[in-house]
Amino acid sequence: MDLPSNIDSKFRYILIAAKRARQLQSGGRPLVQSPSKKATKIAQQEVSAGLIPIENIEIKSDNGNQGK
């Protein structure tokens, strides 16, 4: 599997595609023309085409307060 350049891991790719597939199954309109009728395949094509916005959130850790 080739990951799009804006996605850093296969795990993140799967999470994004799964969330989009749920949106499609709930009535969302596809952003790509696809011969496939499967929401999962369409979602993967949308993510690979860069049509799904991805937001990376940094988690700040406070190592000084562990164990208190």
pLDDT at position 36, please? 95
Token pair in block for residue 41: 């395949």
Q: Percentage of residues in the chain with pLDDT exceeding 90?
A: 62
Query: Where does the pLDDT of residue 23 fall: very low under 50, low under 70, confident under 90, or very high at 90 and above?
Result: very high
Question: Is the confidence at residue 61, as pLDDT, over 80?
Answer: no
Distance CA 52, CA 60 (A): 25
Per-residue pLDDT, averaged over 39-59, amounts to 88
Show the CA angle centred on residue 60, arms to residues 54 and 61, nearest 5°: 140
